[in-house]
């Protein structure tokens, strides 16, 4: 079955409801009745543990990522936290130095407190990853492309290093979505999604996923999600399922517009640098093309100074100054003051993330309107 059909119908799920409802109903219930003791044919007890709307969503995302099983949880952060519950005090996790700021905060404030040793390395350099491996290394954690620098990590290369070390490779695939990249096919063991972003795709819900390559890890994660109460609510499952139906068409159009904007930005004298993996001059261009089916709809650019960047933010009329990504509305973020505000400024500087930088999630508005909006916002900057 094609990816597009899976997005619309899920795997083998054409109208399984008794009512033949076209859409998956929202099973807004806390509990399910039992016929008699020991007989629970439908397999549902209590919504924190499992729910038919959630099950349908999990099966759909499993099919899209080519996973064995998927867990749908309350946010992308809940997904990362659940995955880290697989580790014990004293374990080491090697991770990309350049990650979503919330992930870095979780690692520094929670996981390190829990006794997990985080080793931040430049994962675009496979030799640096190899050198960081220790006998207690239990996982390698990467984002590709990364947030907000759009650095591309060799997922196959990291998978080989993880395998040799007996460790898991965990890939946050939020920026490209399963439409453009399938890390499990490249050797990853776990795939993380902030479902809030391209999967749900409408800037109207928060959700997260952990997709697992094998059933054994998935079953351990089911116990963790059940015990910590992190599962996604039926209504948010419904919204995410609804969003997924249009994932391919949204991604195609958003990516096309992102390319047009990236090219236009490279021609603007006030723009010092453009970070978009679809541009041949991007250092990760060839690698991204070898492991993904496109460059996606996320880009960053450098306005030369923080003042210029703030000027642009202030004068945008269509693109909105806001923090999320992946929806129909184009959003522009100032990483230093928003997504990465909790990261040590010295660390940010060492990664090249400066106050002059803006990150753009390209939405579904007309490309000409967005370019005209940027042009007028850059006037007098």
Ligand X SMILES: Cc1ncc(COP(=O)(O)O)c(C=O)c1O
User: What is the size of the binding site for ligand X (CB under 6 A)?
Assistant: 15
Window 294-333: residues binding ligand X (CB under 6 A): none
- Beta strands 137-143 and 320-321 are unpaired
Q: Does 208 bind ligand X (CB under 6 A)?
A: yes
Sheet holding 190-194, edge to edge: 69-73, 208-212, 190-194, 168-172, 137-143, 92-96, 117-121
Q: Does 147 bind ligand X (CB under 6 A)?
A: yes
- Which CB contacts under 8 angstroms, 24+ apart, belong to 344-348? 347/97, 347/104
Q: Does 123 bind ligand X (CB under 6 A)?
A: no
CB atoms within 10 A of CB 134: 13
**124, 137, 181, 196: which one contacts ligand X (CB under 6 A)?**
196
As given in the structure block, the two tokens for residue 228 are: 């910590």
314 catalytic per annotation: no
Are 303 and 335 a contacting pair, CB within 8 Å?
no
Closest to ligand X by CB, 10 or 335: 335
**76, 148, 327, 335: which one contacts ligand X (CB under 6 A)?**
76
**194, 205, 255, 361: which one contacts ligand X (CB under 6 A)?**
194
As given in the structure block, the two tokens for residue 95 are: 């991770």
Closest to ligand X by CB, 53 or 207: 207
Window 156-175: residues binding ligand X (CB under 6 A): 172, 174-175
Compute φ and ψ for 193, nearest 5 degrees.
-130, 135
Q: Which one of 27, 100, 179, 276 is the catalytic residue?
A: 100
Reported as type and span, the H/E element at residue 289 is helix 285-291
CB of 279 to ligand X, least distance (A): 21
**97, 142, 190, 206: which one contacts ligand X (CB under 6 A)?**
206
Are 380 and 343 a contacting pair, CB within 8 Å?
no
Are 272 and 94 a contacting pair, CB within 8 Å?
no
Closest to ligand X by CB, 62 or 96: 96
Q: Does 100 bind ligand X (CB under 6 A)?
A: yes
Residue 282 to residue 288: CA distance in whole angstroms: 10
CA nearest neighbour of 76 among 213, 198, 189, 254: 198
Q: Which one of 48, 156, 226, 263 is the catalytic residue?
A: 48
CB of 74 to ligand X, least distance (A): 8
Q: Does 111 bind ligand X (CB under 6 A)?
A: no
The residue at minimum Cβ distance from ligand X is: 76
Return the sign of the alpha-carbon dihedral for residues 42, 43, 45, 49.
negative
Stretch that binds ligand X, among 72-80, 234-242, 265-273, 288-296 (CB under 6 A): 72-80
- Residues 284/351/182/156 CA torsion (nearest 10 deg): 70
Q: Does 10 bind ligand X (CB under 6 A)?
A: no
Q: Does 205 bind ligand X (CB under 6 A)?
A: no
Closest to ligand X by CB, 207 or 308: 207
Residue 298 pairs with which residues in a beta bridge?
361
**102, 145, 243, 355: which one contacts ligand X (CB under 6 A)?**
102
Closest to ligand X by CB, 44 or 209: 209
As given in the structure block, the two tokens for residue 203 are: 């800037």
Q: Which one of 91, 98, 154, 172 is the catalytic residue?
A: 172
The CA R_g of the chain, rounded to the nearest whole Å, is: 21
- Residues 249/251/255/261 CA torsion (nearest 10 deg): 90
48 catalytic per annotation: yes
Q: Which one of 54, 56, 138, 197 is the catalytic residue?
A: 197
Binding site for ligand X (CB under 6 A): 75-77, 100, 102-103, 143, 147, 172, 174-175, 194, 196, 206, 208
> What is the set of active-site residues?
48, 100, 172, 197
């Amino acid at each position: 079955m094609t990816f597009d059909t899976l997005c619309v119908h899920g795997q083998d799920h054409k109208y399984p409801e008794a009512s033949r409802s076209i859409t998956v109903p929202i099973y807004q219930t806390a509990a399910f009745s039992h016929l008699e003791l020991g007989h629970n044919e439908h397999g549902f007890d209590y919504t924190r543990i499992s729910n038919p709307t959630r099950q349908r969503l999990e099966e759909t995302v499993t099919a899209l990522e080519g996973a064995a099983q998927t867990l749908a949880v309350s946010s992308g952060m809940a997904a990362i936290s659940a995955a880290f519950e697989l580790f014990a005090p004293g374990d080491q996790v090697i991770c990309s130095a350049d990650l979503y700021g919330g992930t870095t905060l979780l690692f520094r404030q929670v996981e390190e407190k829990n006794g997990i040793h985080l080793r931040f390395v430049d994962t675009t350099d496979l030799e640096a990853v190899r050198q960081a491996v220790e006998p207690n290394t239990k996982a390698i954690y990467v984002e590709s492309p990364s947030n907000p620098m759009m650095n591309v990590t060799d997922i196959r290369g990291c998978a080989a290093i993880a395998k040799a070390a007996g460790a898991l490779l965990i890939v946050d695939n939020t920026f490209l979505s399963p439409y453009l990249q399938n890390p499990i096919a490249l050797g990853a063991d776990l795939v993380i999604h902030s479902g809030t972003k391209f999967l749900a795709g409408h800037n109207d819900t928060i959700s997260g996923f952990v997709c697992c390559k094998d059933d054994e890890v998935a079953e351990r994660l089911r116990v963790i999600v059940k015990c910590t109460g992190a599962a996604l609510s039926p209504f948010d499952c419904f919204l995410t399922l609804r969003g997924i139906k249009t994932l391919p068409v949204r991604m195609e159009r958003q990516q096309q517009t992102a390319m047009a904007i990236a090219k236009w930005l490279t021609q603007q004298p006030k723009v010092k640098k453009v970070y978009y993996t679809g541009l041949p001059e991007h250092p990760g261009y060839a690698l991204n093309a070898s492991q993904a089916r496109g460059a996606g709809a996320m880009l960053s650019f450098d306005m030369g100074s923080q003042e210029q960047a703030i000027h642009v933010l202030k004068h945008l009329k269509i693109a909105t100054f806001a923090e999320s990504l992946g929806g129909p509305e184009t959003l522009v973020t100032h990483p230093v003051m928003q997504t990465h505000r909790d990261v040590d400024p010295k660390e940010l500087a060492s990664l090249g993330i400066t106050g002059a930088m803006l990150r753009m999630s390209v939405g579904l508005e007309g490309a000409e309107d967005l370019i005209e909006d940027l042009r007028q916002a850059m006037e007098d900057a």
